[in-house]
Amino acid sequence: MSETVAKTFYLETFGCQMNAHDSEKVVGTLRQQGYRQVPTVEEAGLVLYNTCSIRDKAEQKVFNRLADYKKYRAQGKQFGVLGCVAQQEGEKIFERAPYVSLVCGSASYQNLPQMLVQLETGGQRVTGLDDRETDKCFETEYTARTNPHRGYITIIEGCDKFCAYCVVPYTRGKERSRTSVSVLEEARQLVDLGYSEIQLLGQNVNSYRDPDGKKTFAELLAAIASVAGIRRVRFTTSHPRDFGRDIVDVIDSVPALCDHVHLPVQSGSTRVLDAMQRLYTREQYLERISWIQAARRDISLTSDLIVGFPGETEREFEETLTLMDVVGYDSVFTFKYSPRPNTPALGLEDAISEAEKARRLAVLNDRQKQIGAERNRRHVGQVLEVMVEGKNPARGQWIGRTSQIKVMNFTVPNGIELTTGSYVRVRVTGSFPNSLVGEMAGA
């Protein structure tokens, strides 16, 4: 390998915001070790894939990508698989893709510098794999902040919930929280970098437990929102089991906390929820929704839904549809059930055909399209604060998000140029199921 590519790397990320933020930390670590990031595989000496195994489709996409790029092995390139698929498959990846040189689970990222040295000195099968008992969080001062609008902070890693369909407890280890002191220090560092919006991340972010015992999750939200220079604070993803009234109360009382809650329900049927091992009933979930709906602020609600879980009857699917009607979600992320390795649901008979799963998914999406359109219509005529995220020159519109995380496409008076990351007031003139349109009403 020539010296021009020996310490260059290409990184592609699959999956959720947690993975995207993990990649920011991986990039920062690699740069600190003298590596230079390049935009294409062709230019890179080291090719890395930060992977997701939540859905079978995402996992297969990674292996397809590796198969496509094995032709580059003759050029001396090295390949590494990071993240959930790496932790799930372990050294079996070397058998499935023998041109891979590095396999590293997310709980082992703090060991990347040592693993890079092994690669540089000729290592062929370098591994970093931790079991569920790890107490380590991936904290690094070298994070490369790649999102120009929003600063991410992971406050809790891992999961102890063991939902029957989910691989996360096995790929990311047990729940382990950072101290509130370290989280607040990182928030202040983000302000120094110019960020005014912070998003707190965790597999179950509201399961946060301060190791020092100083702050609850709700108290941490209030403390971050009080840091000078922070204008918006978001958090995702919440688990209904650990969602308390105090979270709604703090959103109501602290304006910098965004008026949005993502509370995945997965199913509207108590029997299916029990089979999924979700740790709450339909009634308990709706009780939490009632707290949110009773708030003084208009808090938008989003969720995750799975159709076709093994044994789900047509009546139970209808219960999910009726729950959607009762809650009135602003938007939902919907999925067909797919069996995942090592999960308890693998032992259940999956008698629901793919065609039936697809039908139920289409019905669910159609219902949400109607609900989302109705929910967005209520904003027409309102003036909302929008953080500017970019511009669509083809349409002559700017793009941003409201505090409720809704996409806003809007026009500005001739001659005015906005800055990404700035905040403007926009009057809503129209709506669609998944977005709003408007015109700038003033700074």
pLDDT in tens, 385-429: 999 999 998 888 999 999 999 999 999 998 899 999 999 999 999
* CA–CA gap between residue 138 and residue 133 (Å, rounded): 15
Mapped onto helix, strand or coil, the DSSP state of residue 326 is helix
* CA–CA gap between residue 45 and residue 15 (Å, rounded): 24
State pLDDT tens for residues 41-75. Answer: 999 999 999 988 777 666 788 888 888 877 887 78
H or E stretch including 151? strand 151-154
Give the CA distances from residue 9 to residues 33, 37, 75, 105, in Å, rounded to whole numbers and listed in that order. 12, 5, 14, 18
Q: Which of these three, 106, 128, 150, is where a domain ends?
A: 128
Q: Is the predicted pLDDT of residue 3 greater than 50, yes or no?
A: no
Q: Beta strand 423-431 with 407-411: parallel, antiparallel or unpaired? A: unpaired
* CA–CA gap between residue 363 and residue 318 (Å, rounded): 10
pLDDT of residue 261: 98
The verdict on residue 64 lying in a domain is: yes
Direct distance between the N- and C-terminal alpha carbons of the chain, in angstroms, rounded to an integer: 53
CATH number of the domain that residue 14 is part of: 3.40.50.12160
- In which band, very low, low, confident or very high, does the pLDDT at 384 lie, cut at 50, 70 and 90? very high
CATH number of the domain that residue 432 is part of: 2.40.50.140
State pLDDT tens for residues 292-324. Answer: 999 999 999 999 999 999 999 999 999 999 999
Domain hosting residue 48, numbered range: 3-128
Hey, CA dihedral for 56, 57, 59, 63, is it positive or negative?
positive
Residue that is written with structure tokens 């499935």 in the block:
96
Enter the pTM of the model: 0.87
The verdict on residue 237 lying in a domain is: no
pLDDT of residue 83: 87
DSSP 18-63: HHHHHHHHHHHHHHHTT-EE-SSTTT-SEEEEEE--SSHHHHHHHH
The verdict on residue 19 lying in a domain is: yes
The verdict on residue 147 lying in a domain is: no
Q: 344: number of CA atoms within 13 Å, CB side?
A: 10
Q: Is the predicted pLDDT of residue 1 greater than 50, yes or no?
A: no
Q: Which of these three, 108, 128, 148, is where a domain ends?
A: 128
Counted domains in the chain: 2
Listed ranges 8-17, 115-124, 227-236, 348-357; the one with the highest mean pLDDT? 227-236
The verdict on residue 173 lying in a domain is: no
Is residue 425 within 8 A of residue 440, CB to CB? The reply is yes
The verdict on residue 421 lying in a domain is: yes
Which of the pair, 84 or 271, is modelled with greater confidence? 271
DSSP β-bridge partners for residue 236: 201
Q: Residue 293: which residues within 8 A CB-CB, separation 6 or more?
A: 299
The verdict on residue 411 lying in a domain is: yes
State pLDDT tens for residues 144-157. Answer: 787 888 899 999 98
Q: Which of these three, 128, 154, 172, is where a domain ends?
A: 128
Which of the pair, 141 or 329, is modelled with greater confidence? 329
